[in-house]
Amino acid sequence: MKSDRSQEEAAGDGVPGASNSARPLLAATHVSKSFGAVKAVIDATLELYAGEAHALVGENGAGKSTLVKMLAGVHQPDSGTLLIDGDPVALNNPAAARDAGIAVIYQEPTLFPDLDVAENVFMGRLPRRPGGRIDRGLMDKEVHLVLGRLGVRLDPGRATRGLSIADQQIVEIAKALTLEAKVIVMDEPTAALSSAEVARLFRVIEALREGGAAVLFISHRLDEVFATCQRVTVMRDGRSVLASAASELTSEQLVRAMVGRDLEKRDKSTAKVGEVVLSVERLTREGKFVDISFEVRAGEIVGLAGLVGAGRSEIAEAVFGIDRYDAGSVKIAGESLKKGSPTAAMAAGIGLVPEDRRQHGLVMDESTERNIVMASLGRVQRHGLIVSKLSREFALDWARRLQIKYGRIADPVATLSGGNQQKVVLAKWLSRKPALLIVDEPTRGIDVGTKAEVHRLIENLAADGVAVLMISSELPEMLLLADRIIVIREGRLVHEIARADASEEAIIAAAAGVFSGAAA
């Protein structure tokens, strides 16, 4: 549905914006990749030149990760070619990519925690002295040399267990340099770094560029893109829609290229908004979120927007009592809610439809019936024993109400489609008649038809006076359903947008920190 929409801004499709007199060090030209029916990357083009830091930006699900995995040799393109110095190459596995001079540094590096820094850098190719023993002196010397080039101090003999994520990334970069990598891909390297660490990483990127390497920098933070990168490629719905010199772009243009679609906001009959149901005051969990205050009223759908990792799910989990919080309070209908107790949260009328329904929402091997009644066992038992007739009737009733499509209600819930599984999770909580329902990514991985049904369910729920707190990374969904949108960035509530003012641009701008003035 997304992919074959015509794109007005696709004029620059596949055409690099900057001067390309020199030959690119690495190029992916018109590459496509599908997983089953899902077209992850469609006819995308990316060109990296020696000595440049190149940003790859796009919304969640725009296809950046898939493109990177093709460069890393993890996936192979279905069509299109990868070129190194102008020559076509096949990267059939990660080792082939490494041998071709491409190094990928993932957000959370995978090191050997029990080994020291130098051993991590050289593992798999430890240098030998005559006689076959490890040449430790050479290792230390080379690591010193490389770290010196990067301007980082790190003891080569220190175990990597306990190193910060930032230092672990440095170890990975050092490994890439000793392999003489020409292209260094950094997949959201700054997501877990503090600002001081980010500044150091930027100096390292600068040093890499000066050494003649090409750095592909993936980030959601547009200010970082403008601070470090010379060129930008934007991906949207699997396509590369814009390639340009960073200096020729404004952040507004960049955001528009990332969002790119016009979505009519559906008119929603303004439901009667009732009393305050959930009141969160100055909620803080160290390192996760800080000073979060908001309210959700009966009949209202409040959206929690933000980038993945901004702290949205953590806030929801703290409210529901799965996670602890360090300061602040959570009140339901004016009553303080006991901290860290899902049982208390459930008793107070909160339901949680978690992000990962397979892991946390359902018992996959159990029947649809068992899963529906799971949170309502008190209603189907007599003298402490579950009565199968009651349980069956209860489950059938809710399956009918939510129009769940199943073979037999006693079959494992794993046999249902993703959308119907999600309805089972919803049924489980709706049958408890919650005062507040928290839904985390309610339509992730659900087919389009069922998605609309889930949306209608959530709307009906609010119309019946339930307060709904919704987390979603899909902006169209957010705009469709939410009465108010709260934007979380790096653990802080940075913006609150009323339904009338909401647009994808406004949400992305606040979530990515483009308009720093929006910070509360």
Which residues here bind another protein, judged by CB under 8 A? 94-95, 110-115, 119, 123-126, 128, 132-134, 159, 161-165, 192, 194-197, 223, 227, 286-287, 290, 490, 492, 513, 516, 519-520
- In 325-446, which residue ranges form alpha helices assigned H by DSSP? 342-347, 368-373, 388-401, 418-430
C-alpha dist (Å) from residue 387 to 113, 380, 381, 410: 52, 6, 5, 15
CA atoms of 87 and 95, how far apart (whole Å): 18
Place of tokens 């701008």: 509
CB 28 within 8 A of CB 80: yes
> What number of other Cβ atoms are within 10 A of residue 403's Cβ?
11
Strand partners, 236: 239
CB of 361 to another protein, least distance (A): 27
CB of 195 to another protein, least distance (A): 5
CB 158 within 8 A of CB 111: no
> What number of other Cβ atoms are within 10 A of residue 133's Cβ?
9
Nearer to another protein, 34 or 251 (CB): 251
DSSP 419-437: HHHHHHHHHHHHTT--SEE
Nearer to another protein, 122 or 394 (CB): 122
CB of 324 to another protein, least distance (A): 13
CB 482 within 8 A of CB 439: no
Structure tokens at 111: 């090191």
10 φ, ψ (degrees, to nearest 5): -80, 15
Nearer to another protein, 139 or 241 (CB): 139
CB 51 within 8 A of CB 80: no
Nearer to another protein, 197 or 440 (CB): 197
Nearer to another protein, 83 or 192 (CB): 192
CB of 88 to another protein, least distance (A): 24
CB of 196 to another protein, least distance (A): 6
CB of 224 to another protein, least distance (A): 8
* Side chain identity, residue 55: A
CB of 76 to another protein, least distance (A): 17
Which segments within 418-510 are labelled E, that is strand? 436-440, 467-471, 484-489, 492-498
Nearer to another protein, 111 or 254 (CB): 111
CB of 490 to another protein, least distance (A): 8
Nearer to another protein, 94 or 309 (CB): 94
CB 436 within 8 A of CB 277: yes
Nearer to another protein, 11 or 196 (CB): 196
Nearer to another protein, 125 or 433 (CB): 125
Nearest residue to 354 (alpha-carbon basis) of 342, 341, 339: 342
CB of 133 to another protein, least distance (A): 5
Nearest residue to 295 (alpha-carbon basis) of 311, 273, 313, 314: 273
Nearer to another protein, 197 or 237 (CB): 197
CB of 330 to another protein, least distance (A): 20
CB 208 within 8 A of CB 51: no
CA atoms of 261 and 130, how far apart (whole Å): 63
Nearer to another protein, 52 or 119 (CB): 119
CB of 253 to another protein, least distance (A): 17
Sign of CA dihedral 289, 501, 452, 262: negative
Place of tokens 């600068």: 206
